[in-house]
Amino acid sequence: MSDLVEVRAGVYHDSVSLMRVSQALAAHAGVEVAVVAMATELNLDLARDLGFAVPAATGGDLLVAIRASGDARLAEASAELDRQLTARAPAGGAGARDAPPRTTRSASRAWDATVALVSVPGEHAFVEAADAVEAGLSVMIFSDNVPVEQEILLKDRARDKGVLVMGPDCGTAVIGGAGLGFANVLRPGRVGVVAASGTGAQQVTSLLDQAGVGVSHLLGVGGRDLSAQVGGRSTTQALLALDEDPATELIVLVSKPPAPEVAVAVQELSLSKPVVRALLGPGQDDLTTAVEKVLGALGVPVPEWPSWPAGRPPVSGGPLRGLYSGGTLCTEAALLAGTGEFTDFGDDEYTRGRAHPMIDPALRLEALAAVETGVILLDVVLGHGSDPDPSASLAPAVEKACERGVAVVVALVGTEGDPQGLRSQAARLNEAGAAVFTSNAAAARHARLLIGAS
């Protein structure tokens, strides 16, 4: 075995592109393992754990660590790496020119946009988002790790300019049918959604879609928006905007329970349209129940939420391990299960210099493989932006877990229109041995049943 370890100072590529490069290298003949990633602490640790002698580096450097079955293979892999990195031309896009703009400011001058989507590392997100607001554009900040003072400043500037800041840490938005970030393919319709929770909003809108109810717009506001500090700045803007929007008849607000003073302020907005609150927390309805209330308000019958029970007899007892990619889904499941150890792999600490677990399954698969007994509860979130075929890597891992005697319960959030296909993903996971639910609440209750908790 031969190792190649290199730190390339000041070379930047985004984490998703690097994940693809790593995958391409790992598939190369004679390559045992390849880590090509920005040199964050997390990624340096990952390389150290794999036994590489990692030199000092900072998060602005590119880390290359390749192990191959001999020097010749290593040299080939290294050449392949250079090809991959240089071939990585900027993505196409309708407005592409010979030399693409280098800042959001410059892009907004060269091209007539309506919204900016910012997903640079968190410490740089404010600057790009400030460009967008300055140019009179609404902006979705997908990035996390953005300081709250910057969030407040941006939202105040946005209010002055009559635009909306969605985020930071905003995973999903649907604007007139166009999904930004992680977004399910939803039928157009009359429900407008304001969401301080990305995966919570995906659960709500996916279930609405399954009930035949469409969405006009889904406006994310970022997980902190309804905190006392941020004071619902974007929620207020979004509610007022949807109240004006002719396509919207009813508004759903998806959030963790807001800070009390913020709840009052939002309550006191004079809106002409009904607002149904889907608030996640102890003593509140779960998201599925909230969706059922929306359907009631619209006079639409509540369907039976699709599920696919596991073929083999369920085990009873044993610890419950929750392995989630969606933060809100994780919280909801933990609340409903009332017991067990839950991890949200989408949390900031797992995403520094790495792609989100909805794109990069590696960390979660590792955790799944380590569970020896009991019940695993996990979510799979479909839609644009997510892993194009999550069951391809997950189903074999589920099968192995089942062989170890572990029961696997999957909350599958998505719609039939999603590029991955709801039913084909469900079938694949179900065949591997998992019980699959489209309602996260139903999945959590089922898991609770399996471990024998009353």
Question: 100-119: which residues touch another protein (CB under 8 A)?
Answer: 100-119
- Compute CA distances 74 → 6, 30, 132, 228, whole Å: 13, 8, 44, 54
Closest approach of another protein to the CB of residue 146, in Å: 10
Using the contact rule CB under 8 A, the part of the chain among 45-53, 131-139, 256-264, 268-276 near another protein is 131-139
Minimum Å gap between C-beta 264 and another protein is 21
Q: Is 325 in the site for another protein (CB under 8 A)?
A: no
Shortest Å, Cβ 376 to another protein = 27
Q: Is residue 153 near another protein by the rule CB under 8 A?
A: yes
For another protein, the binding residue among 4, 5, 240, 271 (CB under 8 A) is: 240
CB of 170 to another protein, least distance (A): 12
- Looking at 55, 70, 176, 188, which residue binds another protein (CB under 8 A)? 176
Select from 67, 384, 428, 445 the one that contacts another protein (CB under 8 A): 384
Residue 434 CA to residue 427 CA, distance in Å, equals 9
Which listed range, 15-23, 40-48, 322-330, 430-438, lies at the site for another protein (CB under 8 A)? Answer: 15-23
Q: Tell me which residue of 443, 64, 68 sits closest to 287, measured CA to CA.
A: 443
Which residue, 245 or 399, has its beta carbon nearer to another protein?
A: 245
| Interface residue with another protein, options 46, 130, 412, 436 (CB under 8 A) | 130
Question: Interface with another protein includes 127 (CB under 8 A)?
Answer: yes
Residue type, 264: V
For residues 10 and 143, give the distance between their C-alpha atoms in angstroms, rounded to a whole number. 20
- Closest by CA to 329, choosing from 212, 401, 437, is 437
Task: Count Cβ atoms below 10 Å from residue 396 Cβ, excluding itself.
Answer: 12
| By the rule CB under 8 A, 348 interacts with another protein | no
Closest residue by Cα to residue 413 from 376, 450, 441, 371:
441
Q: Which is nearer to another protein, 96 or 264 (CB)?
A: 96
The verdict on 96 binding another protein (CB under 8 A) reads yes
230 binds another protein, rule: CB under 8 A: no
How far is the C-alpha of 119 from the C-alpha of 128, rounded, in Å?
A: 9
221 part of the interface to another protein, by CB under 8 A: no
371 part of the interface to another protein, by CB under 8 A: no
Three-state secondary structure along 341-407?
EEEECCCHHHHCCCCCCCCCCHHHHHHHHCCCCCEEEEEEECCECCCCCHHHHHHHHHHHHHHCCCE
Residue 244 binds to another protein (criterion: CB under 8 A): yes
- Examine residue 90 and tell whether it contacts another protein (CB under 8 A): yes
The answer for 30, left when phi > 0, alpha when psi is -120 to 50, beta otherwise, is left
Sketch the per residue contact string, 388 through 427, with another protein: x for CB under 8 A, - otherwise. Answer: -------------------------------x--------
Q: Does residue 359 touch another protein according to CB under 8 A?
A: yes
134 near another protein, rule: CB under 8 A: yes
User: How many CB atoms lie under 10 A from the CB of residue 35?
Assistant: 21
Check residue 16 for interaction with another protein (CB under 8 A): yes
Percentages (nearest 5) of helix, strand, coil residues in the chain: 40, 20, 40
> For another protein, which is the closer residue by CB, 142 or 437?
142
For another protein, give the closer residue by CB, 274 or 388. 388
Separation of alpha carbons 403 and 397, rounded Å: 10
**Does residue 380 interact with another protein by CB under 8 A?**
no
Longest C-alpha distance within the chain, in Å? 71
* Unique residue bearing structure tokens 């017991």: 339
Q: Could you give the CA distance from residue 337 to residue 265 in angstroms, rounded to a whole number?
A: 33
For another protein, the binding residues in 253-312 under the rule CB under 8 A are none
Cα separation, 314 vs 269, whole angstroms:
49
188 binds another protein (CB under 8 A): no
Residue of 22, 40, 150, 391 interacting with another protein (CB under 8 A):
150
Q: What does the alpha-carbon distance between residue 244 and residue 280 come to, in Å, rounded to a whole number? A: 26
Among 168, 179, 258, 390, binds another protein (CB under 8 A): 179
Judged by CB under 8 A, which of 66, 183, 295, 401 binds another protein? 183
Q: Which stretch binds another protein (CB under 8 A): 48-56, 92-100, 195-203, 395-403?
A: 92-100
User: Parallel, antiparallel, or unpaired: how do β-strands 188-195 and 215-220 relate?
Assistant: parallel
Tokens of 235: 């929620």
CB nearer to another protein: give 80 or 131.
Answer: 131
Kindly state the smallest distance separating residue 407's Cβ from another protein, in Å.
33
Q: Using CA atoms in the order 25, 27, 33, 39, what is the torsion angle rounded to 10 degrees? A: 30
